[in-house]
Amino acid sequence: FELPELSNTAFILEFTQMFLEGVFNYAKKNEGQKICIVLEEAHTIIPETNFLGDLGDYGSTKALVSKMSQIALQGRKYGLGSFVVTQRTANISKSILNQCNTIFALRVFDDTGKQFLENYIGSDYANVLPTLEERHCIAVGKAMKLKQPIILKLNDMKNTIFTGIEYETTN
């Protein structure tokens, strides 16, 4: 489903929390099924708590984000996964980001995002992020089945994703 607007509001947080809780409860009752929730523009629906100040009651909005973090933490054991997409890692709940076991990092210019990603990909790869060519990313994590990050060249075909991936490793 698509949210009606792209702004951080208490309503959007509450709606997202209720939806995620409903999917989580469904996953618990239907063990064995695999569910993946895509959170596009994730900074608007699972923000870092220091970005909640202007959303009304800080305590209640922080509690909503905490509930969503708990769902991310516990969901995997019930077959519930998340695909988190954002342009700004600094603005997303670190509790949720720290649950990501595979990361595809595209060109990053801000120091906050680069510093966060450095924990996952190391300083050598993090220093490459601002100079990555278009349609390239650094990938790391369980899905890669490699011990070190790799640079992937994504295809340039329209409306297709991850077909014909080329990769190279750097030292």
How far is it, in rounded angstroms, from Cα 43 to Cα 27? Answer: 24
Mean pLDDT of the 57-63 span: 65
pTM: 0.74
Q: What angle do CA 137, 138, 139 make, to 5 degrees?
A: 110
pLDDT tens digits, 105-135: 999 888 888 888 888 888 999 999 999 998 8
Mean pLDDT of the 79-93 span: 86
